[in-house]
Amino acid sequence: MADFRQRVGSFSVIFGMFWLISMVMKVNGIGANWGTQCSHPLSPDIVVRLLRENGIQKVKLFDADYTTLHALGNTGIEVMVGIPNDMLSTLASSSKAADRWVSENVTEHVNKNKVNIRYVAVGNEPFLATYNGSFLKTTFPALQNIQNALVKARLSNRVKVTVPSNADVYASPSTMPSGGDFRDDIHGYMTQIVKFLSDNGAPFTVNIYPFISLYTDANFPVEYAFFDGNATPLTDGGTSYFNMFDANYDTLVWALQKNGFANMPIIVGEIGWPTDGDINANVKYAQRFNQGFMTRTANGKGTPMRPGPIDAYLFSLIDEDQKSIQPGSFERHWGIFTFDGQPKYQFNLGTTNLGTLVKAKGLTYEERQWCVLKPSIKLDDSRLAPSVSYACARADCTSLGYGSSCGDLDARGNISYAYNSYYQINDQDEEACKFEGLGAITKSDPSRDTCRFPVMIVPYESGSDQVFHLRGIRSCLVSVIILFLTMF
């Protein structure tokens, strides 16, 4: 009997190990950031289907939108749900507010709807140098309050807190990874946070962007941005670094190690390359960078300091035409898919038999018609410049700049592009193509070469009519009752 039990025991140990290994492998599948700053967002159901059909097993959100989380229910997809920076001060000053946040945005979804929430991202790059320390006081207390709320909700074992940080929280004065440490001005603060994460078995999340280095530094060696580049390697002691990602990631590993957290798990919260809005933001480079990253991820090859698999979320799933372009015009073009879920380039995630991305299904487009500059208008018309400024301020002209996908348009093409963008963003409202008589609607597609004049999708709110109907029925009932009451 004892023998048998022992055998069952070792069977379950082996089984348990298999399970553990398969969990670890699952956790390390590729993730994607799902942002929603779009004038015409895809319906969450369409995006969830897109994720599943592409074998994307993890998703990172920037807030806790109810319909989005609901659509992720019962899918098994791992979710990192986000708390926007503007909520940090409330959550920092009130544990009640944190309890409510967890209850409404985590517990409810995990219990009622089987959403596989695994992380809460407290803030989004709150220590960015450009924020001038605005969120320094609030991030840590908010993190503590959310962690406590998760403990109270008995979820702290499966849901971990983290703070997605920009790589500018650490630096290396010597530019060698081994010189890495947290930024001087926030050193004490960072070690406090990292200790808290470590005490609670939570990971450090960092966003790494070789593209931004290239964008901001004219002397940055282009080849060093890529995984297959032939850049002159950086030699750090006995280690050679052939690409910026490895060197940057290892700078963080050194910073953590130096402060006593050598084994802290690291998540790459954002990694990617934009396809438009700058001379270096194009399909060719994006394909090269993302495929390079994916291939090494699929091979489970880490960095010199951390040779294991890398846990990462691609930035981004789809383009977002309402993102702020203060950092640059490229901001609206990070998607591996266009705003309507169409793959931009050949990209093998290693997750499907197809060997490339699967496009979104079930879309409804607006009519195939465009708004352009009326051919009879002369280019010296003084109304043109203000009309273009008006359109571009409200729509999206980020593809018009030098080296961008529509950078080769002539003056007429430029104006038409601006008009069309405004017209489409306004759902082809006739009024939105007037421009004091300068605009005209056409059925012939002005797109050419790389320059695409998009037609938008029908906004999904009006397409998904269930909620709408319910509301309609309810208000109808109320008016009948009121009518009935007033009659007697």
Alpha helices in 153-282 (DSSP H): 187-199, 210-216, 244-258
* Strand duo 239-241 + 234-236: pairing: antiparallel
Helices 384-394 and 411-425, axial angle in degrees (round to 10):
40
User: Considering only residues 34, 101, 273, 419, which one is a binding residue for ligand NAG as defined by CB under 6 A?
Assistant: 101
Enumerate the β-bridge partners of residue 234: 241
Q: How is 324-372 classified by DSSP, letter by letter? A: --SS-GGGGG--SB-TTS-B-S----SSSTTSSPPPP-S--BPPS-EEE
Cα separation, 396 vs 419, whole angstroms: 10
Closest approach of ligand NAG to the CB of residue 134, in Å: 6
132 binds ligand NAG (CB under 6 A): yes
Out of 36, 45, 52, 63, which residue is the one contacting ligand NAG (CB under 6 A)?
A: 63
Q: Among 292, 401, 446, 454, which residue interacts with ligand NAG (rule: CB under 6 A)?
A: 401
Backbone angles phi, psi at 69, to 5 degrees: -65, -40
> Which residue lies nearer to ligand NAG by CB, 107 or 243?
107
Catalytic residue among 53, 108, 125, 430: 125
Identity of the residue, 65 or 427, whose beta carbon is nearer to ligand NAG in the bound complex: 65
Cβ 74 to ligand NAG shortest distance, Å:
20
User: What is each CA distance from 206 to 159, 166, 373, 458, 477, in whole angstroms?
Assistant: 18, 6, 45, 36, 52
Tokens of residue 28, six digits: 């390390």
Q: Which of 93, 95, 113, 134: binder of ligand NAG (CB under 6 A)? A: 134
User: Is 125 one of the annotated active-site residues of the chain?
Assistant: yes
Smallest gap from residue 109 Cβ to ligand NAG (A): 10
Q: Rounded distance, CA 43 to CA 427, Å?
A: 16
Q: Among the candidate windows 23-31, 229-237, 397-405, 460-468, which touches ligand NAG by CB under 6 A?
A: 397-405
110 or 360: whose CB is closer to ligand NAG? 110
Stretch that binds ligand NAG, among 24-32, 39-47, 126-134, 449-457 (CB under 6 A): 126-134
172 Cβ partners below 8 Å, 6+ apart?
Answer: 178, 179, 180, 181, 251, 254
> Near ligand NAG by CB under 6 A, which window of 127-135, 231-239, 261-269, 292-300?
127-135
Selecting among 53, 78, 108, 270, the annotated active-site residue is: 270
Q: Does 411 bind ligand NAG (CB under 6 A)?
A: yes
Residue 142 binds ligand NAG, judged by CB under 6 A? no
Kindly tell me the burial class for residue 435, based on how many C-beta atoms sit within 10 Å of its own C-beta (0-12, 13-18, 19 or more). Answer: buried
E strand or H helix at 31, and its extent? strand 31-34
- CB nearer to ligand NAG: pick between 79 and 305: 79
* E-strand stretches of 56-198: 58-61, 78-83, 116-122, 160-162, 165-166, 170-171, 181-182
Question: Which residue, 385 or 482, has its beta carbon nearer to ligand NAG?
Answer: 385
Contact between 18 and ligand NAG by CB under 6 A: the answer reads: no
Of 296-304, 322-330, 408-416, 472-480, which segment contacts ligand NAG by CB under 6 A? 408-416
Neighbours of 415 (CB within 10 A): 25
Q: Which is nearer to ligand NAG, 132 or 230 (CB)?
A: 132
| Interface with ligand NAG, residue 428, by CB under 6 A | no
CA distance 67 to 407: 38
Residue 270 is a catalytic residue: yes
The torsion angles phi and psi of 82, rounded to 5 degrees, stand at -110, 150
Is there binding between residue 105 and ligand NAG (CB under 6 A)?
yes
Nearer to ligand NAG, 245 or 435 (CB): 435
CB of 41 to ligand NAG, least distance (A): 15
> Can residue 131 be called a binding residue for ligand NAG (CB under 6 A)?
yes
What residues from 192 to 211 belong to the interface with ligand NAG (CB under 6 A)? none
Catalytic residue numbers read 125, 270
Which residues lie near ligand NAG (CB under 6 A)? Answer: 63-65, 100-101, 104-105, 131-132, 134, 400-402, 410-411, 414
